[in-house]
Amino acid sequence: MGKRVTTRRRVPEGFRDAVGELEFWRDGVLGVRKRDGTLVEIPEEALVAAKVVAGGPRSGDPRGGGPVPG
């Protein structure tokens, strides 16, 4: 828990991705908190792929996430 993850899950329309902090994994459900605050609950049986990823861009990082000083 507490790690930044990317997930892919099966939905009726195809697949959906969610990237965020893994808040819980209990009773067959993963809870991923996206950066906009949305909690995505993913049943294990719908999960197709998941992995731990590096943290998001820092504020001031030229690749995004905030203004660049200077």
Parts of the chain with a pLDDT under 50: 59-68
Q: Are 37 and 47 in contact (CB under 8 A)?
A: no
- Nearest one of 6, 14, 63, 66 to 34, comparing CA atoms: 6
Write down the pLDDT at residue 1.
Answer: 84
> Mean pLDDT across the chain, nearest whole number?
86
How far apart CA 46 and CA 11 sit, in angstroms, is: 7
Given phi > 0 = left and psi -120 to 50 = alpha, else beta, which region is 14? left
